[in-house]
Amino acid sequence: MDSTPATSGPALTGHACIQSYLRTLDNSPGVYRMLNAQSEVLYVGKARQLRARVSNYTRPSGHSARIARMIHETASMMFLTTRTETEALLLEQNLIKQLKPRYNVLLRDDKSFPNILLPQDHPFPQLRKHRGRKSVKGRYFGPFASAGAVNRTLTQLQRAFLLRTCTDSVFNSRTRPCLLYQIKRCAAPCVGYVSEAEYAALVADAERFLSGRSTHIQAQLAEEMQAAAEAMEFERAAALRDRIRALTNVQQSQGINPQGVTEADVIALHLEGGQACVQVFFIRANQSWGNRDFYPRTGAGAEAPEILQAFVAQFYDGKEPPRLILLSHPPEDEALLAEALSERAGRKVALAVPQRGEKVELVANALRNARESLGRRMAEGAAQSKLLAGLADAFDLDASPQRVEVYDNSHIQGANAVGAMIVAGPEGFLKSQYRKYNFKPGEVTAGDDLGMMKAMLKRRFERLQREDPDREGETWPDLLLIDGGPGQVAAVAQVLADLGVDDVPLAGVAKGVDRDAGKEEFHRPGARPFALNRNDPVLYFIQRLRDEAHRFAIGAHRAKRGKAVSASPLDDVPGVGAARKRALLAHFGSAKAVTRAGLADLKAVPGISEALAQTIHDHFHARG
């Protein structure tokens, strides 16, 4: 891949700035970036021919309002040439996810999806949920839309196929069957109630079912049940009947089960009021394995073809695409997108906008779900907007806050202290913006809540001043809420004043009379405390904000406390990582024995060099 650095063009903006770059460009494929005067990336685009694509932006008219605004803000550009347009498309989407430009469509939720895994490294494989990289040797079935969908399917599969779900260590240590055997959800291979061959047959049946070949299994089980009944083996017949019912329940829970579509993802987009919802249904083995809705940022008004192209390219970055993707609208550069996905998957991936038959019904169902999901989200957003407006009225703000930051801390008698910040805005809680604060030794006195709050706010606003001094980003709060009364408010106000921050509204939420929810008092610098009516929705909203901050702080504290409990004296020894720690513990039996070991004994540990043995010995000798 060739790289073309940005040219130091004249201090121009808009059309003139873009025009100044044309003479440096040829018609190679590649990726371009448009930047504003502060060198923030506004837009990342790909081109089959860079010069021809960039020249389109020099036209004075004919652009959408979104593109016209972007051109007006452009103060410089950067370029990367690629060998092919497909390579440019993949690079473009990687840069969009990395840089999050304002005018690009951005998929904001790209978590991996869970699968069902049947490993091949054990004579009695464990049926289990798997998320992430497929590093374990075995058969994977999925993706499923959510952990809940996997768990429900696993429960039904246990009933139908009696496969174990316990870990290998539990399996190896059992001497009698567990409760799952008693409730007819496991064949108890751990204690030899089923042979390896019989268990392998159950595994094969489960694999056939998850691959969509369930009719044969049910017919076979029905024959076995009939035979058991005729032989008057009523307990066995009842067990087989329960397995048949479980299989039926799995099929019913899958919802839509298309007959003519073996493997596909159904992706439908609904646009309304400048917002977008993309609904994705996963069809595998002629079964629907759940659906998920996404709300991509639409890049200040992108149209459906651009949104779908960006969504599909970003959605399958790191995920294996199916052989068929059914779409509600044709995306931009459909053939190029299919080529890029095929190249990424190592096999053919087809994109289609169906026009008739069962596939049209699948897309119509996904589109209806997208429309309804966006409607619910917009209704929730309208309610959130009313609450934020009420917050502005309650605290005399000039406008509804777009970013509310709430602070709390947690500790037990000063131990394992941690501070927490949560963020809320028009879209609700912004969990990706949450932050926790660990305090350095000597930074605050143990148990000093006021000192912790001051230290937390000081670090927060020093970072804001360092990273966004001109307040051009979206990280500066419009309102600060802290857990506390007049003392805490005065202390935090002094911290802000010392930093020269005098225009960020601050309020403290005190428990009020009898520390009773509903009797909270609100304190602001230089103002008398006030309360809201017990049935005021804004009061409930503030309580939810405070409770969320408290929940997050306690969670962070518990995690820190758990880590401290499991800490070892070996953690502080230079050069001793996880592998060497395991070797030392395996050799000596405990960390305490390592601290008492002599130099010769330390040298005898596999993987511990003479120099490291000396380091370990000196570390604990100096302590003693």
List residues bridging with 293 in a β-sheet.
Answer: 279
398 located within any domain = no
Q: How many CA atoms lie within 13 A of 304 on its CB side?
A: 13
List residues bridging with 279 in a β-sheet.
Answer: 268, 293
Reported as a single tens digit per residue, the pLDDT across 180-213 is 998 888 999 999 999 999 999 889 888 887 876 6
383 located within any domain = no
Total structural domains in the chain? 5
Reported as a single tens digit per residue, the pLDDT across 567-616 is 567 777 888 887 888 888 878 877 788 888 888 888 888 888 888 888 88
Domain with residue 284: its CATH number is 3.30.420.340
**Phi–psi pair at 350, nearest 5 degrees:** -105, 140
388 located within any domain = no
Distance CA(16)–CA(71), nearest Å, equals 10
Residue 564's pLDDT is what? 54
Distance CA(49)–CA(71), nearest Å, equals 19
Reported as a single tens digit per residue, the pLDDT across 232-264 is 877 778 777 777 776 666 555 454 567 778 889
DSSP, residue by residue, 56-108: HTT-SSS--HHHHHHHHH--EEEEEE-SSHHHHHHHHHHHHHHH--TTSEE--
Distance CA(227)–CA(16), nearest Å, equals 85
User: Under a CB-based contact definition with an 8 Å cutoff, are residues 363 and 326 in contact?
Assistant: yes
Which pair of tokens denotes residue 568?
């070892």
User: Under a CB-based contact definition with an 8 Å cutoff, are residues 395 and 477 in contact?
Assistant: no
Domain with residue 15: its CATH number is 3.40.1440.10
393 located within any domain = no
Look at residue 503 and tell me whether its pLDDT is greater than 70. Answer: yes
Residues 339 and 464 in one domain: no
Residues 157 and 202 in one domain: yes
Domain that holds residue 559: 404-564
Reported as a single tens digit per residue, the pLDDT across 361-398 is 999 999 999 999 888 888 878 888 899 999 999 999 99
Look at residue 107 and tell me whether its pLDDT is greater than 80. Answer: yes
Look at residue 137 and tell me whether its pLDDT is greater than 60. Answer: yes
Residues in CB range of 150: below 8 A, 6 or more apart: 114, 115, 116, 129, 142, 144
Residues 128 and 246 in one domain: yes
Distance CA(508)–CA(529), nearest Å, equals 9
CA nearest to 255, candidates 290, 294, 205, 203: 290
Distance CA(121)–CA(133), nearest Å, equals 17
Residues 365 and 421 in one domain: no
User: Under a CB-based contact definition with an 8 Å cutoff, are residues 279 and 326 in contact?
Assistant: no
Residue-averaged pLDDT of the chain? 85
- Characterise 326 by phi-psi region: left (phi > 0), alpha (psi -120 to 50), beta (else): beta
Residues 464 and 537 in one domain: yes
Q: Helices then strands (H, E): number in the chain? A: 20, 21
Percent over 90 (pLDDT), the chain:
36
Residues 137 and 239 in one domain: yes
Residue 172's pLDDT is what? 87
In this structure, what DSSP letter does residue 431 have? G
Residues 163 and 223 in one domain: yes
Residues 370 and 276 in one domain: yes
391 located within any domain = no
Which of 81, 103, 125 is a domain's end point? 103
Distance CA(280)–CA(37), nearest Å, equals 38
Residues in CB range of 174: below 8 A, 6 or more apart: 166, 190, 191
List residues bridging with 41 in a β-sheet.
Answer: 35
Residue 31's pLDDT is what? 95
Reported as a single tens digit per residue, the pLDDT across 387-446 is 999 999 999 999 999 999 999 887 655 466 788 899 999 888 888 889 988 877 667 676
> What is the side-by-side strand order in the sheet with 30-35?
3-4, 76-81, 30-35, 41-47
551 located within any domain = yes
Residue 352's pLDDT is what? 94
Residues 85 and 133 in one domain: no
Residues 31 and 79 in one domain: yes
Q: Is the pTM of this model over 0.95?
A: no
Residues in CB range of 86: below 8 A, 6 or more apart: 336, 339, 340, 343
Look at residue 448 and tell me whether its pLDDT is greater than 50. Answer: yes
Residue 3's pLDDT is what? 44
Query: Which span out of 17-31, 557-571, 606-620 was modeled with the highest average pLDDT?
Result: 17-31
In this structure, what DSSP letter does residue 388 have? H
520 located within any domain = yes
8 located within any domain = yes
Residue 447's pLDDT is what? 66
Residue 4's pLDDT is what? 44
Whose structure tokens read 């000596």? 588
Q: Considering just the CA atoms, what is the radius of gyration of the chain in Å?
A: 31
Residue 248's pLDDT is what? 66
